[in-house]
Amino acid sequence: MTTVIDGKQVAASVIDAVKTATAALEKNTGVKTGLAVVIVGDDPASHTYVGAKGRMAKECGFNSIQHTLPAETTQAELAKLVATLNEDASIHGILVQLPLPKHLNAEAIIQSIRPDKDVDGLHVVNAGKLATGDLATGLISCTPAGAMLVVRRVHGEDLSGLNAVVIGRSNLFGKPMAQLLLHANATVTTAHSRTKDLATVARNADILVAAVGRPEMVKADWVKPGATVIDVGINRIAAPERGEGKSRLVGDVAFAEAGEVAAVITPVPGGVGPMTIAMLMANTSIAAHRAAGQTPPKF
Ligand SMILES: NC(=O)C1=CN([C@@H]2O[C@H](COP(=O)(O)OP(=O)(O)OC[C@H]3O[C@@H](n4cnc5c(N)ncnc54)[C@H](OP(=O)(O)O)[C@@H]3O)[C@@H](O)[C@H]2O)C=CC1
Ligand SMILES: Nc1nc(=O)c2c([nH]1)NC[C@@H]1CN(c3ccc(C(=O)N[C@@H](CCC(=O)O)C(=O)O)cc3)C=[N+]21
């Protein structure tokens, strides 16, 4: 029997904990947790995600602010907004939705966010803390933190003796995911577009994580029988069977066939995606607790 992880349910338990912590923080210190999400341009998928983040932030009891800037915003204008949010004591978390329009230097913007407000965990200070094993004082990228929550629920805190393979090496996901698994004592392989014989590498994994951006690339024969498969990919593909011009979301894993071989698998949608948003709320709550001089709960 394969266990299909209900990401919405795991996310709901995190959101519940964030709600409780947020209310307690406000009661004890008067600090209302604040999250600012910045979106530039009109990419429809980005607007969908940002809308979901705003709704969730309100549900958590946050002061939720969204800045929607036109596609032709200049680097200086965006930098000025980030500087204002950096100085704003009512804002504890700043998220600049990626990708930014091509004429903007996203890396420069990310590095200009105050590390203690960088709820995406992308600032070099936060990436460096994770890399050096300081998980207690930094902020960890939301998607790997969410994926790790599933891994912990299935395998516990200690992954000693388990082989983990992460396909993808981005700063947003692959690298921090590999570091979190390593920190939990897994034996970690990071695979990418230059990896030779990827199927064989993947089949060695007790924990297989796919974050590539290629629809249904991971097939049944890439999966070790009994493995845990975490599908991070979000790909929108044409679905003519649903009607003309319709589309649907699929992951990087061929869910139906891989699910026959895996012991545990996360679906798309309804897997890692909802957990990403939940961990963004958790990071914002952590940042607010630290700003108020309180010890944040462990989410
Ligand atoms: N669920 C969620 O909340 C989130 C989902 N995502 C999704 O996760 C996926 C990955 O995102 P992200 O890490 O930002 O993407 P990137 O495009 O930054 O990275 C993709 C990685 O996959 C590797 N890759 C590409 N093609 C192949 C291939 N044929 N074989 C092996 N490796 C390959 C690349 O290798 P190389 O480095 O060599 O080019 C790269 O390291 C996307 O589908 C994205 O939408 C992302 C963030 C959040
Ligand atoms: N600065 C920044 N940080 C990010 O973390 C970030 C980003 N930019 N840009 C884009 C990616 C992608 N991402 C997702 C979040 C939630 C879902 C999610 O909730 N997905 C739902 C489905 C949503 C739908 O139906 O479209 C699910 O998987 O069930 C997906 C993808 C965060 N990202």
Gap from CA of 270 to ligand 1 centroid (Å): 19
Q: Which of 46, 150, 189, 192 to mutate to test the pocket of ligand 1 (most atoms within 8 A of CB)?
A: 192
- Catalytically active residues are 53, 97, 120
Question: What mean pLDDT value characterizes the chain?
Answer: 97
- Ligand 2, atom 10, lies closest to the CA of 98
Q: Which of 98, 170, 172 to mutate to test the pocket of ligand 1 (most atoms within 8 A of CB)?
A: 170
What is the pLDDT averaged over residues 2-25? 97
Q: Which ligand is nearest to the CA of 8?
A: 2
What is the pLDDT averaged over residues 76-103? 97
Gap from CA of 174 to ligand 1 centroid (Å): 8
- Strand-by-strand arrangement of the 93-96 sheet: 63-69, 34-40, 93-96
241-290 pLDDT tens trace: 999 999 999 999 999 999 999 999 999 999 999 999 999 999 999 999 99
182-240 pLDDT tens trace: 999 999 999 999 999 999 999 999 999 999 999 999 999 999 999 999 999 999 999 99
CB 51 within 8 A of CB 43: no
Numbered residues of the known binding site? 168-170, 234
Q: Which ligand is nearest to the CA of 280?
A: 2
pLDDT of residue 21: 98
List the beta strands (DSSP E) in the chain: 3-4, 34-40, 63-69, 93-96, 163-167, 187-191, 207-210, 228-231, 235-238, 247-250, 264-265
Percent pLDDT > 70 in the chain is: 100
Name the percent of the chain in helix, strand, coil, to the closest 5.
45, 15, 40
Distance between CA atoms of residues 231 and 234, nearest Å: 9
- Ligand 1, atom 6, lies closest to the CA of 233
Residues 6 or more apart in contact with residue 131 via CB below 8 angstroms: 179
Catalogue all structural domains in the chain, each as residue range(s) with its CATH number.
28-116 (3.40.50.10860), 142-273 (3.40.50.720)
130-169 pLDDT tens trace: 999 999 999 999 999 999 999 999 999 999 999 999 999 9
Atom of ligand 1 nearest to the CA of 212: 22
pLDDT of residue 1: 84
Q: What Å distances lie between residue 11 and 160, 189, 225, CA to CA?
A: 26, 27, 27
Query: Residue 45: pLDDT band by 50, 70, 90 thresholds?
Result: confident
Numbered residues of the known binding site for NADP(+)? 168-170, 234
pTM here is 0.96
pLDDT of residue 187: 98
Query: Ligand 2: residues within 6 Å at CB?
Result: 48-49, 52, 95-98, 120, 142-143, 234, 249, 268-270, 273-274, 276-277
Q: Is 171 in the pocket of ligand 1 (CB under 6 A)?
A: no
Gap from CA of 202 to ligand 1 centroid (Å): 15
Give this complex's ipTM: 0.97
